[in-house]
Copies of this chain bind each other. A is one copy, B any other.
């Protein structure tokens, strides 16, 4: 059986990657969503193995020392990471795996798993990006300027990705990603082993 694809989706805040991923999963049941591990405590309603794998700090460090994460980060006093095993098992079983992740995490994964498909979600324009950030309505002008500046910095990282999808219209952006998945399956570099066995 052909291996699944690891689809890594990221982009600056305000690009709308969360919405796109949700839509993508709804209409593509063969895509499994990667579940992150964290050492923070579960909040009310969060389920272990669904929202996160909740791990003790010692366990997380032990896994780190065994190179069992595709990427990890520390936020305040907690660890967050993508367990390798869950992803690789799903790929081996022919399932595609979706990983929605920040740019730093995505670039760590690219180092460890370059055969992944790296997609950057772009806002349609600078103006639209700004209006989306302002639209949250909860932040001061200073915060907004800071977020906007950091989004522009993040967009520079697009050059390290395979594909850029502009989120101007949700369905169109989702269709782009579906086309990317379909095209990637046709890549000779992925299909060659299978072709060799057949001819």
Contacts and interface: CB of A to CB of B under 8 A. Distances in A.
A33 B158 CA distance: 33
Given A120-B188, A179-B183, A183-B184, A199 B126 contact: yes
Interface residues of A, number: 30
Contacts of A192: 158-159, 164
Interface in A183-199: 183-184, 186-188, 191-192, 195, 198-199
26 contacts: A120-B188, A122-B195, A125-B198, A126-B198, A126-B199, A152-B199, A155-B195, A155-B199, A158-B195, A159-B192, A161-B188, A162-B188, A163-B188, A164-B186, A164-B187, A164-B188, A164-B191, A164-B192, A164-B195, A176-B182, A176-B183, A179-B179, A179-B180, A179-B182, A180-B182, A183-B183
